[in-house]
Amino acid sequence: MSLSFGLEVALSGLRAQQFALDVTAHNIANASTEGYRRQEAVLRPGMVINGAFSVNGPGTPKLGTGVEVVEVRRMQSSFIDGQVRTANQNVGSWDAKNQSLEQVEAIFGEPSDNGLSSVLDKFWNSWQELSASPESVPARAAVVEYGTEVSQRIGTLRSDLRNMQFNLDDQIKDDAASINRIAHEIADLNQSIGQSATGSFTPNDLMDRRDILLDELSKIVNISASGKPGSEMMLTINGKILVQGTYVNDVQVTEDSDKWSQVTWADGTSIGAKGGALQGRMETRDTIIENYIGSLDKLASGLVESVNATYSKGLTSDGQPAGNFFVAGTNGSNMSVERTLIDKPRLVVTSYTGRQGDNVLAQDIAALKDARNIDGDTANSFYIGLVSQIGSLARESKSTSSVQGLSLEQLSNQRESVSGVSLDEEMLNMIKYQKAYAACARMVTTIDEMIDVVINRLGTVGR
Amino acid sequence: MRITLGMMNGRIKSNLMGSAEEMLHAQDVASTGKRIQRPSDDIPGAGRVMSLNTALAEIAQFSRNTEVATTQLNSASTALGTVVARMQEVRKLALQGTNPSLTPEGRTSISVQLKGISEELASVANTQTLGRYIFSGSLSNVKPFVETTTGNEPYNYAGDQGQLTIQISPGNYATTTVNGDSVFNMNGAAAAGAPDIFTMLKNLSELVEAGDTAGISSSLTGVDANLNNVIASQAQIGARQARLSTTKENMLDAKVSTENLLSKTRDADMAEAIIDLQTKQNVYQAALSTAGKVIQQTLVDYMN
């Protein structure tokens, strides 16, 4: 066993400690990098060889050959990652709904003194006012004015809701584009990972980047990752392949019969998102807001029909049939008071007899306020029902999204606990590796002195 | 459990955000004084606030209707008061007319006075209030008493039998008009057996002029019948006025109690809101100072 063997051992120690210090430096440098997973140099004692000369006793002594770095381990738990991604999908979906419903609440602006509810009150009251002064032209103008305001308010609410649907539609298109972009980036990374993996050394930082992309993707749509964690990774949405290795199956945006964007596969079948922001947006656009628009239309056409049914029985002062008050057959989108009445409010009739002081018809219309003719409800209580419905869904989505957010936070903490960089720990490691490095260096010095003894002082007796 | 920099920062961030959000809501409540900012704050409460607002708007409208009804009834009452007073005068004049010692000048004077009263009553009968003839039924734009030159009757009734009713509270309607033809007995139905007031006055003035004391005496029953008829109408209006003022009081009570309920449902208890805001501010302060302490130091700070 040569003296220089000791030098080799010490050298392996110097190299390994330096390598480990480099890893520590990398960790510290990335302490605040988003998505970075802590790395750890895995050291292992070097190969064991037979000692070259025997020491006292039977057998050959075994001798270690120093230390080697076998792996740079990436501290990560696939189990927690999977859970984080499931939580991401839930949070994505409920957040999307919550944002929209907060907007819907703001659009309706109830309870307040100037919401649709108070406009409806003013409309019914204007008929009361007219019935108290059936001769009054200003009272007639007020009836037309508030009829118009009810129409316009419903129209504005409806078009605001429609605009939200259009916005959501745009976001859905963006989501589809994001899915494709991320899928391609992942495929590219898969290729790089395949090329740069050597032996037991994995391209950790590339894998970190891929994990970030997976997190991002899981906020948009429900994905599951399967297959090998390396370059062969496969991503599926509801069992259909999105990415496999370097292959990407792009999703498409197609318009359905109502001109709404649908996200489909190349063969035209819907990807059927079950989670993530995409699902939340589609549900909000297609079900939630659509329902509210339907309710507004029902309210509008209910008002139009019931007011017209009474009004059209009236007679003008020349004994002519009164016609309609609201334009017949309209809904929330185009509800309006008849043009002739807007131009000449004095033509509004108040009676079935055409006599100027007769107010029976006006009274009957004012009484429609309490008539349960919109789905078994009065107009006001139908509208209050709609607002309550919006409120309770907003509340549900708010509390669910905050609960889901908490559970995501919990899981992220667990992940951080495994993968995050602790500066205290890195400092300790730094000291550990530094001391070990210093000790190895001292070892080299020691062996150097031993060699010095052998070379310069051996066999110089009596010199 | 390993505690890392990311965990600490993440936790601090979410705690700060959480307490800031709660503080913001407490601020909204305290600064607007309203407990319910949007329906999701209290769903049944928001619905109740909307219903109560509707109820208040309705009460306000019914109060306005009651005012209109009161104005109309008041003017009808004033008009009928005038009619009653004039009719009593007529009765007095008629009695004077039966005095056989009257000079022809005296008779003419009474007759002229009777004619004057007839004209005054006609103008009272054509009273207009709030743009309507109050004695013409539904034909409120039609002058109800029109002078005629043909026939025996000096005036014809051009109105109709309709009456104006105004809703003054839920399910409660007030009739605000009396029809001129019944007040002035235009068709002889209201005061049976007597001619209408204007014909009666015309006949009476002719009888006085002619000095027909027997005729005057016999027509006194007609004067009495007409007077009683007008007094009956006046009483009817008085009863309606009384009912209106009761309704008005009830409405005021309803308004106060509805406003109370609305305030209880919608408004924040200010003491509670301010204490709540203070608490939330303290929590936020605590979160901030905790963050300051936690972030400060790591092992690095203790190494040379």
Q: What is the mean pLDDT of residues B48-71?
A: 93
- Report pLDDT digits (tens) over A267-302: 989 998 999 999 999 999 999 999 999 999 999 999
- Report pLDDT digits (tens) over A175-214: 999 999 999 999 999 999 888 877 777 899 999 999 999 9
d(CA B118, CA A227): 111
Residues of B in contact with A385 (CB under 8 A): 47
Beta carbons within 8 Å of B278's beta carbon, 6+ residues apart: none
Q: How far is B119 from chain A (nearest CA, A)?
A: 25
Helix orientation angle between A379-419 and A289-311, rounded to the nearest 10 degrees: 170
Whose tokens are 């979410």? That residue is B14
Looking at the partner chain, which of A31, A131, A135 has a beta carbon nearest the beta carbon of B167? Answer: A131
**Amino acid occupying residue A431:** I
Beta strands in A261-394 (DSSP E): 261-264
Residue B255 has what pLDDT?
A: 94
DSSP state of A327: P
Q: What is the mean pLDDT of residues A414-429?
A: 91
Residue B296 has what pLDDT?
A: 63
Residue A262 has what pLDDT?
A: 94
Beta carbons within 8 Å of A41's beta carbon, 6+ residues apart: A16, A19, A20, A23, A69, A71, A72, A73
The candidate with the shortest Cα–Cα distance to A134, out of B140, B282, B119, B69, is: B140
pLDDT of A461 strictly over 80: no
The candidate with the shortest Cα–Cα distance to A214, out of A234, A194, A191, A241, is: A234
Percent of the residues in chain A that have a pLDDT greater than 70, as a whole number: 97
Q: How many CB pairs under 8 A join A and B?
A: 184
Buried b / exposed e over A270-279, threshold 16 CB at 10 Å, is: ebbbebbbbb
A300 inside 8 A of chain B by CB: no
Residue A57 has what pLDDT?
A: 65
CB < 8 Å from A in window 7-36 of B: 7, 9-11, 14, 36
3-state secondary structure of A458: coil
Instruction: Tell which of A33, A122, A133, A404 to mutate to test the B interface (max B CBs under 10 Å).
Output: A133
Lowest mean pLDDT among A198-212, B55-69, B160-174, B290-304: B290-304
Q: How far is B237 from chain A (nearest CA, A)?
A: 17
Looking at the partner chain, which of B7, B57, B299 has a beta carbon nearest the beta carbon of A413? Answer: B7
* Contact indicator for B73, B247 with CB cutoff of 8 Å: no
Taking an 8 Å cut-off on Cβ atoms, the answer to whether B58 and A125 are in contact is: yes
Whose tokens are 């480990």? That residue is A20
- Report pLDDT digits (tens) over B220-269: 888 999 999 999 999 999 999 999 999 999 999 999 999 999 999 989 99
Taking an 8 Å cut-off on Cβ atoms, the answer to whether A388 and B131 are in contact is: no
Helix orientation angle between B43-97 and A116-132, rounded to the nearest 10 degrees: 10
How far, in Å, are A5, A401, B37, B227 from residue B21 at the CA level? 67, 15, 15, 78
CB < 8 Å from B in window 373-432 of A: 380-381, 383-385, 387-388, 390-392, 394-395, 398, 409, 412-413, 416-418, 420-425, 427-428, 431
* Torsion sign over Cα A180, A182, A187, A188: positive
**ipTM value greater than 0.90:** no
Phi, psi of B136, deg, nearest 5 = -110, 20
pLDDT class for A54, splitting at 50, 70, 90? low
pLDDT of A357 strictly over 90: no
Q: How far is A99 from chain B (nearest CA, A)?
A: 13
Taking an 8 Å cut-off on Cβ atoms, the answer to whether A413 and B68 are in contact is: no
Residue B123 has what pLDDT?
A: 93
B166 inside 8 A of chain A by CB: yes
Q: How far is A327 from chain B (nearest CA, A)?
A: 26
Whose tokens are 């750890």? That residue is A40
pLDDT of A60 strictly over 80: no
pLDDT class for A56, splitting at 50, 70, 90? low
Residue B290 has what pLDDT?
A: 86
d(CA A359, CA A349): 9
The candidate with the shortest Cα–Cα distance to A130, out of A373, A370, A367, A326, is: A367
Lowest mean pLDDT among A7-16, A101-110, A338-347, B2-11: B2-11
d(CA A309, CA A348): 15
Q: What is the pTM of this model?
A: 0.84
3-state secondary structure of A313: coil
Percent of the residues in chain B that have a pLDDT greater than 90, as a whole number: 48
Residues of B in contact with A420 (CB under 8 A): 2, 4-7
Residues of B in contact with A122 (CB under 8 A): 57
d(CA A335, CA A342): 13
- Report pLDDT digits (tens) over A358-416: 899 999 999 999 999 898 999 999 999 999 999 999 999 999 999 999 999 999 999 99
Residues of A in contact with B132 (CB under 8 A): 135, 356-357
How far, in Å, are A263, B76, B247, B251, B254 from residue B169 at the CA level? 57, 22, 7, 8, 11
Put residue B130 in one of left, alpha, beta given phi > 0 → left and psi -120 to 50 → alpha. left
Residue A258 has what pLDDT?
A: 87
Beta strands in A256-386 (DSSP E): 261-264
Instruction: Tell which of A128, A409, A418, A434 to mutate to test the B interface (max B CBs under 10 Å).
Output: A128
B286 inside 8 A of chain A by CB: no
* Torsion sign over Cα A314, A318, A319, A321: negative
Beta carbons within 8 Å of A213's beta carbon, 6+ residues apart: A182, A185, A186, A189
**Amino acid occupying residue A60:** T
* Contact indicator for A311, A361 with CB cutoff of 8 Å: yes
* Contact indicator for A131, A363 with CB cutoff of 8 Å: yes
Q: How far is A97 from chain B (nearest CA, A)?
A: 14
Partners of A326 in the beta sheet? A337
* Contact indicator for A90, B19 with CB cutoff of 8 Å: no
pLDDT class for A1, splitting at 50, 70, 90? low
- Report pLDDT digits (tens) over B117-133: 999 999 999 998 888 88
Taking an 8 Å cut-off on Cβ atoms, the answer to whether A358 and B60 are in contact is: no
d(CA B284, CA B278): 10
Higher pLDDT, B58 or B191: B58
Residues of B in contact with A125 (CB under 8 A): 57-58, 60-61
Residues of A in contact with B39 (CB under 8 A): 105, 108, 110-111, 387-388, 390-392, 394
Residue A177 has what pLDDT?
A: 96
Taking all residues of chain B, what is their mean pLDDT, rounded to a whole number? 89
Looking at the partner chain, which of B40, B58, B170 has a beta carbon nearest the beta carbon of A395? Answer: B40
Q: What angle do CA B83, B176, A122 make, to 5 degrees?
A: 150
Q: Which residue of A has its CA nearest to B162?
A: A358
Question: What is the full DSSP assignment across chain B?
Answer: ----HHHHHHHHHHHHHHHHHHHHHHHHHHHH-BS-SSGGG-HHHHHHHHHHHHHHHHHHHHHHHHHHHHHHHHHHHHHHHHHHHHHHHHHHHHHHHT-TT--HHHHHHHHHHHHHHHHHHHHHHT-EETTEETTSTT-TTS-SEEE-SSSS-SEEE-S-S---EEEEETTEEEE----HHHHTTTTSTTTTTS--HHHHHHHHHHHHHHT-HHHHHHHHHHHHHHHHHHHHHHHHHHHHHHHHHHHHHHHHHHHHHHHHHHHHHHB--HHHHHHHHHHHHHHHHHHHHHHHHHHH--GGGG--
Determine which helix (DSSP H) or strand (DSSP E) holds A217, and give its type and residue range: helix A204-220
- Report pLDDT digits (tens) over A133-178: 888 899 999 999 999 999 999 999 999 999 999 999 999 999 999 9
Taking an 8 Å cut-off on Cβ atoms, the answer to whether B162 and A121 are in contact is: no
A25 inside 8 A of chain B by CB: no
Beta carbons within 8 Å of A453's beta carbon, 6+ residues apart: none
Please give the structure tokens belonging to residue A87.
């939580």
Q: How far is A305 from chain B (nearest CA, A)?
A: 22
- Report pLDDT digits (tens) over A69-93: 999 999 988 899 999 999 999 999 9
Higher pLDDT, A3 or B69: B69
Residue B160 has what pLDDT?
A: 87
Q: How far is B289 from chain A (nearest CA, A)?
A: 22
